[in-house]
Structure 1
Amino acid sequence: MKKWKCTECQTITDDDQLLIDNNPFIKGRIIVACPSCYTVNAVVIVCDEYGCERVATFGYPTDEGYKNTCGEHMRKYKGKAQEAGEIRRLERKIEKLEADLLAAQSGATVTTTETQVTQ
């Protein structure tokens, strides 16, 4: 189970606690709200490292599935920082996984491009 952080109130939330619904303004899109402050579309994925509450900015595949990490824990597991191209590729993978997760929770179909999530 992934953890999410509200950028407004800093609450850490599990996947199943996020408030997800159809966007009333854009048909076919969803909105995600913080269960504490109800701010819409202000949640970001948190580092998978136990006890870490930093925003995940990196990720990589593991035998157990995809791992999202903050910069500190990425360096811990992967050695020195990745080259810029590799970092961008990993960030795009994270965006796609996040979009797929949200779609699965809402029942929507999601396709991704390199820079934009569409539904």
Structure 2
Amino acid sequence: MSTLRFTQDHEWIRAEGGTATIGITDFAQKQLGDVVFVELPEVGRTLAAGDSFGTVESVKAASEVFAPVAGEVAEVNEALTSDPELVNQDPTGEGWFIKLKLADAGAVEGLMDQAAYDAFIKDEH
């Protein structure tokens, strides 16, 4: 079972082998409110850790989404184009944004685990 890791920008990442799935956290989708549009990158785009790779827009705000680690975009969640509310309904499941071919699989280990992220969002608000 792969473990979710988290960033201070409220992205989650689940690494499986040399690929990782990335999306925004349940906390982030609740802060945004009803998601109405998701802009995703082109497959094949190379991202450095911290690069913005897309935008999620809600009725309240638009927010950039950042790559937690470096890699190459292997797949985007096309379902979000026609069904952006998947981000609200299942943020860490069907509402994923991209799959990334990892440049360094070990980089994921340096991110926050669930307990650290829970403490982070508690301190932030």
User: How high is the TM-score relative to the length of structure 2?
Assistant: 0.25
When Rg is computed on C-alpha atoms for both structures, the one with the higher figure is 1
Q: Considering fraction of residues, name the structure with more strand.
A: 2
User: How high is the TM-score relative to the length of structure 1?
Assistant: 0.26
